[in-house]
Every structure is written in C-alpha cells, then in structure tokens.
Amino acid sequence: MGILSALSGGLIGQVGSLIDNLHTSQEEKEEAKIKMEELLQKRDAEIEETIRTELQAKERVMVAEMNQSDNFTKRARPGVVWVGLGMMCVNFTVIPLIESLSGTALSVKNFPEEFWWAWSGVVATWSIGRSMERRGVSSNAGRQAVSAITGSKVI
C-alpha cells in the first residue's frame, strides 16, 4: 500500500500545482486541494478493500479444498514437488547415465523457464508451510495458513 500512497502523494502535488494556477482565491485553492486528497484517500481505501476481499475469497477456497476428504487434493502440493524432482532426476541423471552406458545419444531436454518458476514457487510455499508447522504456530491465523499450505490439520 506504500506504493499507492507514494503515487497518490505525487499526484496530489501535481494537482495542487494545477490548482494553484487557477484564478481563484487562496481559500478556494486550499479547499480544492483538500477535496482532491479526500477523493484519492477514498480511492486508495476502495482499492485496499478490493484486494482484501479477493485475498479472503482465495483463502476460503483453499480452506474448503483442505477440509474436503479427498486426499489427492490435500496432497497436491507435495505431489507437484515429488513429480518435479522425479522429472529432474530422470532428465538429468538417468538419461545421461543410459547415454554413457549404451553409447547412444538420447537428448536431454532442458525444461522451460515457466516450469522452473512454477515448480520453485510451489516448493518454496510448501517448505515455508512445513517449517511453520514443525515449529508450531500459536495464532489462529497462522494455524489456518499452515493448514492451507500443507493440507494438514494444525492443532
């Protein structure tokens, strides 16, 4: 939210200088500046509320997923981690080993950049959740976050 405030502050300065150039009294200029600042603060509050509502909706979806009885959905994040590790192991270890033992050239494929970004994001999120789970979380919000990330019930 600091970025929005900084941008709004710069905008207020620009609008303020524009208002100063108008042919009005000093009181009218100050009143216009105050009204403009109120409008910008109202807009920032609406943007913040929209972001908060969106995050709450995402949290409710994740909590609903974790509370269902389908273990596959609960274990999807660790599944992505293990499948990614398996793909890397086959591609960068097994295939080169087969190539060296058999003398045939099986081409090792480099994974696209999107794979690395997505996989590392899942691994990072899951690792943070597991670390928080192991250390124990005292707040209710922390327990909900750990539960959403790891799929386990944190007491």
Q: With a cut of 70, say whether residue 131 has pLDDT above it.
A: yes
Reading the block at residue 60, the tokens are: 């409710």
Q: How far apart are CA 32 and CA 25, in angstroms?
A: 11
Q: What is the mean pLDDT of the segment spanning 60-73?
A: 67
Q: How far apart are CA 68 and CA 114, in angstroms?
A: 30
Q: What is the mean pLDDT of the segment spanning 108-116?
A: 85
| 68 — pLDDT class (breaks 50, 70, 90) | low
Pair (85, 137) in one structural domain: yes
pTM of the model: 0.41
Pair (126, 140) in one structural domain: yes
| 28 — pLDDT class (breaks 50, 70, 90) | confident
What would the pLDDT profile of 71-86 be if each residue is shown by its tens digit?
665 666 677 888 888 9
Longest dimension (CA), the chain: 89
Pair (142, 110) in one structural domain: yes
Reading the block at residue 74, the tokens are: 């609960």
Pair (62, 104) in one structural domain: no
Pair (93, 142) in one structural domain: yes
Q: At which of 51, 67, 83 does a domain end?
A: 67
Pair (24, 60) in one structural domain: yes
Helices (H), ranges, 25-70: 26-67
Q: How far apart are CA 99 and CA 107, in angstroms?
A: 9
Pair (45, 87) in one structural domain: no
Percent of the chain whose predicted confidence (pLDDT) is above 90: 2
Q: With a cut of 60, say whether residue 116 has pLDDT above it.
A: yes
Pair (60, 76) in one structural domain: no
Pair (61, 85) in one structural domain: no
Q: What is the mean pLDDT of the segment spanning 90-111?
A: 84
Q: At which of 67, 85, 107 does a domain end?
A: 67
Q: At which of 28, 52, 67 does a domain end?
A: 67
What would the pLDDT profile of 18-27 be if each residue is shown by its tens digit?
666 666 777 8
Q: With a cut of 80, say whether residue 147 has pLDDT above it.
A: no
User: Quick one: pLDDT at residue 40?
Assistant: 86
CA angle, corner 32, sides to 26 and 37, nearest 5? 130
Pair (75, 63) in one structural domain: no
What would the pLDDT profile of 94-104 be if each residue is shown by its tens digit?
888 888 888 88
Pair (140, 90) in one structural domain: yes
User: What single string gives the DSSP state of each residue in 79-124?
Assistant: HHHHHHHHHHHIIIIIHHHHHHHH---PPPPPPPHHHHHHHHHHHH
User: Quick one: pLDDT at residue 35?
Assistant: 85
Q: Average pLDDT of the chain?
A: 75
Pair (58, 107) in one structural domain: no
Provide the domain limits for residue 147. 71-155
- Total structural domains in the chain? 2
